[in-house]
């Protein structure tokens, strides 16, 4: 409890046990956060961004085909301005290509996006891969 008089607040000397309870729980939570982050920084080695992508959906849309994909950054460093290139390959030849840029793909996190192709990717190979990035 806090009593305010003349714009001065005074904390009561004999607080309710609930105040102590909340305080102790908060202290534990904060210590846990500190431990977590310290643990991460000590244990985790720095792995530069490594990308792994999977095509999640192909569906016909007006005037072409929509290819949805997910891309995972398996590194422990965040990548910025990640350029992802998608290609439809037939018989070793690239028949159509598209590009998309992600602002960020955080460390060990996932992002998703889509590309629009004119040709039907069905029966052909669809390659989606990251080609470049910058350090944030």
By CB under 8 A, name the binding residues for other proteins.
1-13, 15-16, 18-20, 22-27, 29-30, 33-34, 36-38, 40-41, 78, 80, 103-104, 106-112, 136
What is the C-alpha separation between 130 and 48, in angstroms, rounded? Answer: 13
Residues 117, 65 contacting (CB under 8 angstroms): yes
| Shortest spacing between CB 89 and other proteins, in angstroms | 28
In the bound state with other proteins, the residue whose beta carbon lies nearer, of 112 and 124, is 112
In the bound state with other proteins, the residue whose beta carbon lies nearer, of 51 and 65, is 51
In the bound state with other proteins, the residue whose beta carbon lies nearer, of 40 and 94, is 40
What contacts 121, CB < 8 A, 6 or more positions away?
58, 65, 67, 88
Instruction: Provide the β-strand partners of residue 99.
Output: 85
In the bound state with other proteins, the residue whose beta carbon lies nearer, of 64 and 106, is 106
- End-to-end CA distance of the chain: give it in Å, rounded: 46
What is the C-alpha separation between 28 and 84, in angstroms, rounded? Answer: 42
| Shortest spacing between CB 63 and other proteins, in angstroms | 23
């Amino acid at each position: 409890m806090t009593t305010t008089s003349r714009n001065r607040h005074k904390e009561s000397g004999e607080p309710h046990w609930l105040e102590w309870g909340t305080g102790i729980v908060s202290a534990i939570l904060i210590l846990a956060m500190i431990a977590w982050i310290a643990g991460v920084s000590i244990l985790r080695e720095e792995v530069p961004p490594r990308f792994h992508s999977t095509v999640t959906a192909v569906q016909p849309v007006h005037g072409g085909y929509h290819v949805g994909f997910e891309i995972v950054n398996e590194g422990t460093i965040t990548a910025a301005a990640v350029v992802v290139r998608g290609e439809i390959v037939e018989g070793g030849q690239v028949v159509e290509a598209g590009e998309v840029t992600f602002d960020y793909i955080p460390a060990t996190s996932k992002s998703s996006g889509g590309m629009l192709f004119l040709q039907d990717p069905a029966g052909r190979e669809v390659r989606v891969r990251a080609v470049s990035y910058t350090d944030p």
